Amino acid sequence: MPIFEFSKWDGSQQFRPLSADAVFDKIAEHLMEYGDYVLRQLEHLDDENPELLKLLIKEGYLEKDEEGRYAIAPRGVRRIENKALDELFTIHRKDTSGKHATEHKGAGQVRHDDSKPYEFGDPVANLNLHETLKNAVTREGQSPRDREPGSVNLKEEDFVVYETEYQTSCATVVLLDMSGSMARYGKYYHAKKVALALQGLVRSRYTEDQLKVIGFYTYASPLTERSLLHSAPKPVSIFDSRVFLRVNLDAPPDFVPEHFTNIQAGLKFARQHLQKQAASNKQIICITDGEPTAHLEGRELVLMYPPSERTARSTLQEVKACAAAGIQLSTFALIEDYFYLGLMNFVDQMARVSRGLAIYCNAGELGGAVLDSFVRGRRSRKKLA
């Protein structure tokens, strides 16, 4: 625990106010954990220290919407994403490679030391000049009469090009658990930071990729960059030890508890989105801390707690549909200070049905695990024409 010492200011020290960057970083840190609630509190600060908020607006970190409420400006979103990227993934700025590597060789950005004879269609930019000239000199050395002194005559058979690594774009959906239990142990804070960092990673390094974040709870809904930043887990609104509710989606009641875990709805939303994408590789990264407790049956929403076999079966049917659509699924189960056997068993079932990945980690380890899956774990093995 930090120790602070206080003494009366005698006027000898120069007062140094925090910079706009430092103030915004403090606000952003609270925003990561508590979501939109923090922005609502800025309205109180407007009365106490209006100059500070004017400075943040002037620097492009904050803005006001049509109703006069504070929101994070695009520059502020970029700063938060970049800080998350730096903290979690230690990305070197000089590394500008922008594609997903595969095991195939073909036209691409990554050059290998290996070379091969030139074939029609190979990029001339990948010419191995040293080997090409050596081939020409070797060939002409066998018949020097056709060569003028000091010159080298190149023929098509002499040309050699570097092998390059075939690379492909990838469409990714990050499914982010927003159920009530994600508020414990900083789980949602770390999961949200990972999603923000992936957005920064795609923007700076994998520019031909598509990334979408979908939050799932009792329902499932897409999250824009800004709404992700403002988001928080759904508060627990009922505390019964056993729950069985059916909700007609065409005529829902005034109150529906939102803190349940509907992995099925999230997967269905993700699958429908990815099927519209033209990318050759498609993947879902699902981050959750609990077994599913909600699912859809036609136009009805079913909420069941404790977790039931009925919900599990419906969820696994959607996992199977994702696999049939050629979508790679990686599921990250957040296991904190207890051994949750039910969650691990269910995540194992998801991996078996989808032939995907199941990863167990605590919230602090999530960043490195997701990065490894995002960069290496979802590569297609399609043969090149």
pLDDT digit string, tens, across residues 188-238: 999 999 999 999 988 888 888 999 999 999 999 999 999 999 999 999 999
- Give tens-digit pLDDT for 35-64: 888 888 887 776 667 788 888 999 999 998
Assess contact for 139 and 145: CB atoms under 8 A.
no
pLDDT of amino acid 168: 66
Q: Choose between 119 and 172: higher pLDDT.
A: 172
Assess contact for 174 and 214: CB atoms under 8 A.
yes
pLDDT of amino acid 18: 65
The per-residue DSSP string of 114-154 comes to EEEE--TT--GGGB-HHHHHHHHHHHHHT-GGGS-TT----
First to last CA, the chain: 62
Contacts of 21 (CB under 8 A, 6+ apart): 59, 79
pLDDT of amino acid 109: 42
- Looking at mean pLDDT, say which of 20-34, 157-171, 184-198 comes out highest: 184-198
Name the helix (H) or strand (E) containing 42: helix 36-48
What percentage of the chain reaches a pLDDT higher than 70?
78
For residues 258 and 218, what is the distance between their CA atoms, to the nearest angstrom? Answer: 5
Assess contact for 165 and 102: CB atoms under 8 A.
yes
Residue of 168, 132, 173 lying closest to 153 (CA atoms):
132
Give the lowest-confidence range in 102-106, 116-120, 224-228, 251-255.
102-106
List own/partner pairs for 69-77 with CB under 8 A and 24 or more apart.
69/39, 69/40, 69/43, 70/39, 70/42, 70/43, 71/39, 71/226, 71/230, 72/28, 72/31, 72/39, 72/226, 72/229, 72/230, 76/24, 76/28, 77/225, 77/226, 77/229
pLDDT of amino acid 156: 77
Q: Where are the domains of the chain?
A: 20-72, 101-167, 169-376
Tokens matching residue 310: 């009925």
**161 phi and psi, to 5 degrees?**
-125, 155
For residues 300 and 250, what is the distance between their CA atoms, to the nearest angstrom? Answer: 8
Name the helix (H) or strand (E) containing 211: strand 210-216
Judged against a pLDDT cut of 50, whether residue 1 lies above it is answered with no
Buried b (16+ CB within 10 A) or exposed e, 50-60: eebbebbeebe
Tokens matching residue 183: 């508020």
- Give tens-digit pLDDT for 228-285: 999 999 999 999 999 999 999 999 999 999 999 999 999 999 999 999 999 888 999 9
The CATH H-level superfamily of 169-376 is von Willebrand factor, type A domain (3.40.50.410)
Assess contact for 233 and 363: CB atoms under 8 A.
no
Judged against a pLDDT cut of 50, whether residue 97 lies above it is answered with no
- Over the chain, what is the mean pLDDT? 82
Contacts of 127 (CB under 8 A, 6+ apart): 118, 159, 160, 161, 162
Average pLDDT over residues 173-198: 95
For residues 299 and 251, what is the distance between their CA atoms, to the nearest angstrom? Answer: 10
Tokens matching residue 35: 């979501």
Judged against a pLDDT cut of 70, whether residue 324 lies above it is answered with yes
286: left (phi over 0), alpha (psi -120 to 50) or beta: beta
What percentage of the chain reaches a pLDDT higher than 90?
46
